[in-house]
Amino acid sequence: MQTVIADKSLTVFLSGEIDHHTAGRIREKADSEIIKYSPKELILDFSDVTFMDSSGVGLVIGRYKLASNNGCKTVVTGLKERDKKILMMSGLQNKIEFR
């Protein structure tokens, strides 16, 4: 996972598999960056994610909650169609922006 901060936007570049083995580490680092930079927009980029299970849904929901509590908009980008459907079934399309 890598992050880039620019113009009050924090982009979190995710890669590889997101499952119960990796989600905790990603969550800790992403939360630390959100708290450190207090961005106005959080972008979660899934372009290089090869697999995602329900841990990925939890990852998105948790980051959305943390970000929105700090007045930050959450955007998810680069999703594979299957993963986008999973997130949409969670009702997240009413809370976050999909690009």
The domain locations on the chain are 2-98
pLDDT mean for each 10 residues of the chain (99 residues) = 96 96 96 96 97 94 95 96 89 90
Give pTM, 2 decimals.
Answer: 0.94
Query: Distance between CA atoms of 29 and 83, rounded to whole angstroms?
Result: 22
- The correct CATH number of 2-98 out of 3.30.365.10, 1.10.3720.10, 3.40.50.1970, 3.30.750.24 is 3.30.750.24
Here the tokens at position 2 are 């890598």
Q: Which candidate, 80, 71, 14, places its Cα nearest to that of 43?
A: 14
Q: What is the distance of C-alpha 14 from the center of its chain? A: 8
User: What tokens appear for 85 in the block?
Assistant: 């459907």
Coil/strand/helix, residue 16: strand
